[in-house]
Structure 1
């Protein structure tokens, strides 16, 4: 099984093919996903410190262009875990004082 490492939170195994946002949430990371995983709000973005989630999806390219975001980020609602990676969630309930939002679909 692939392993995801989140600095200051540890490392955990993830079922291959699971959406990253759900893997984080299911392992106690209170990442935001205000739009429910529809790639509209970008609150679920993570900085990828190690590992590879493949090429940016078209929906990520559009969202990042709209929001003026830089390279090195991914929308955790749009990528699936297939290999080991280290990610740093940008927005969490703790650092934003916001509710996570509706749980994204599998």
Structure 2
């Protein structure tokens, strides 16, 4: 069983039996708004997740993520939710401050 815990959304938990799924797809399928200005194509960083735990449970960095890291737009503890697959276990993530929606209530 795969699990995503979004810490600053009241520790909201998402579980899935499907592996190799994009993190953003799992989030959206659970009716959680998550920013993605480029339409989930890896062309921006608005869908980034701050990974607090479980980085090893995600797929390797994609070329797009490598590009943003080299250009200092993605830190070592951040991933693009449209590029990263949850391949096993659990991850604990947070929504980045700059990517929070005004209509949602976040906890910190």
Residue matched to 2:4: 4
Measured in 1, the distance between the counterparts of 2:43 and 2:15 equals 28
Structure with higher strand content: 2
TM-score, normalised relative to structure 2: 0.76
Measured in 2, the distance between the counterparts of 1:19 and 1:69 equals 18
Measured in 2, the distance between the counterparts of 1:33 and 1:67 equals 19
TM-score, normalised relative to structure 1: 0.77
Query: How many pairs align?
Result: 96
Q: Provide the aligned C-alpha RMSD in A.
A: 2.0
Quick check: 1:32 aligned with 2:35? yes
Kept in 1, the 8 Å contact 2:4–2:13? The answer is: yes
* 1:93 aligned counterpart, secondary structure: coil
For structure 2, which runs of at least 5 residues remain unmatched after alignment? none
> Which consecutive segments of 4 or more residues in structure 1 shift more than 4 A?
none
Kept in 2, the 8 Å contact 1:50–1:85? The answer is: yes
